[in-house]
A and B are shown apart, each in its own frame.
Chain A
Amino acid sequence: NAGVTQTPKFQVLKTGQSMTLQCAQDMNHNSMYWYRQDPGMGLRLIYYSASEGTTDKGEVPNGYNVSRLNKREFSLRLESAAPSQTSVYFCASRTRRQGKYEGYTFGSGTRLTVV
């Protein structure tokens, strides 16, 4: 099925450990995004990539790095996990048609707990 695939779905880390969240889309979208979702705070943008080869910081980039590996894949890395990074992480992608951005297609999320 076409869409955005995120792995893993669940992860528990100890403080200080590192990990990479993987995201891949098969819709040939140019733009990809990483959001975190916390209770009462909605979705907050961590990093985004407007096109292959470019990445930019979002609202809450501290403690994260990203890599746009190719047009399909956009990974999010936590170098030294902290309890404040406990959250649900969503990857999304979208494209432009006739000069206008379409809506986001989201993955099903990665539920990360840092203990």
Chain B
Amino acid sequence: TQLLEQSPQFLSIQEGENLTVYCNSSSVFSSLQWYRQEPGEGPVLLVTVVTGGEVKKLKRLTFQFGDARKDSSLHITAAQPGDTGLYLCAGAVFGNEKLTFGTGTRLTIIP
């Protein structure tokens, strides 16, 4: 079973600040996904990265897949209260039906 570690576990920052959260593993993944989960709801897919070194942007969110495909980062610029939630990374290996989730980073943006 692959282990995906996310850091930090909790993060609370002021509105307007920048932040980065990390997802690390000793395993190589064919693709990696990021999800955001709000209280009382299921996770919602934000992005999928598939190529080592790939960078994807979603408005103020920037996602990067490590060159070795073992890690990923999510950077948020000028955080807003609407960014509050649990951020989960999830990795897949080649040909494997199963997706492994990290334990998540709980982000709180203070107005």
Contacts and interface: CB of A to CB of B under 8 A. Distances in A.
| A and B pair up | yes
Interface of A: 4, 31, 33, 35, 40-45, 48, 50, 56, 58-59, 90, 92, 100-109
**Residue from B35, B40, B48, B99 whose CB has the most chain A CB atoms within 10 Å:** B99
Given A31-B97, A103-B33, A103-B48, A42 B42 contact: no
Nearest to B104: A42
20 contacts: A31-B97, A33-B99, A40-B103, A42-B102, A42-B104, A43-B88, A44-B101, A45-B98, A56-B97, A90-B42, A90-B43, A103-B33, A103-B45, A104-B33, A104-B35, A104-B43, A105-B45, A106-B42, A108-B40, A108-B41
Nearest to B6: A42
Interface string B33-72: 1010000111111001010000000000000000000000
Which of the four size classes fits the interface of chain B?
20 to 34
Contacts of B98: 45, 48, 58
Contacts of A4: 42
A64 B51 CA distance: 36
Q: Which 4 A-B pairs have the closest CB atoms?
A: A106-B42, A103-B45, A43-B101, A42-B103
A104 B99 contact: yes
A109 B103 contact: no
A35 B37 CA distance: 14
A86 B33 CA distance: 27
Contacts of A40: 103
Contacts of B103: 40-42
A105 to B, nearest CB: 8
A106 B44 contact: yes
B98 to A, nearest CB: 6
Contacts of A42: 88, 101-104
Given A41-B103, A43-B88, A92 B97 contact: no
Contact of A59 (B1, B35, B41): B1
Given A43-B90, A58-B98, A104-B45, 13 more contacts: A33-B99, A42-B101, A42-B102, A42-B104, A43-B43, A45-B100, A90-B42, A101-B31, A102-B48, A103-B33, A103-B45, A105-B45, A107-B42
